Amino acid sequence: MVSVSSARVLLSDDHAIVRHGLLTILEDTEQFEVRGEAAEGSQTIQLATQLAPDILILDISMPPPNGLEVAAQLHQTLPDTKILMITMHESEEMLRAAGAAGASGYLLKSDAEQLLTVALNLLEEGRSSARPVFSPELAKQLFD
């Protein structure tokens, strides 16, 4: 039997209830292992540098530096880490800013309960490619 290792995940959101909800969703999976949690941008950078996660789930609106600034910095220093922005901002402008900062995906918090593991699986499968992942409503705005 071949053992498949779990993707290492770092959660970053300034709201403990959101981190707890994401953790609860991921605890039910075998393919993702949450290695740490951060509540602000500087803590996220520090933990990500220490842990080198496979995937960083990152909020945009958080104490400095904000998620876009964190993504830009970590995209440079940890290019193999996939960044999934998770946000309440249903905006094409924010989506484009996240992409420019190096995010591989953009998921609305309202979609997280149903789509988080799907999005993470897509990111994990596409680790060697630049295949982005979007919330369905934003994808419709972009591609319709």
Give the pLDDT means over successive 10-residue stretches in the chain (144 positions). 74 97 92 96 98 97 96 97 93 89 91 89 68 62 53
Domain-located, residue 1: no
Domain-located, residue 18: yes
Query: What percent of the residues of the chain are helix, what percent strand, and what percent coil, each to the nearest 5?
Result: 45, 20, 35
Q: Residue 58 forms beta bridges with which residues?
A: 12, 85
pLDDT at 141: 57
pLDDT at 1: 41
Domain-located, residue 2: no
C-alpha span between 72 and 89 (Å, rounded):
18
Element holding 9 (H helix, E strand): strand 7-12
pLDDT at 135: 64
How many domains in the chain? 1
Instruction: Residue 13: give its domain's CATH number.
Output: 3.40.50.2300
C-alpha span between 33 and 17 (Å, rounded):
19
Domain-located, residue 120: yes
The parent domain of residue 108 ranges over 7-143
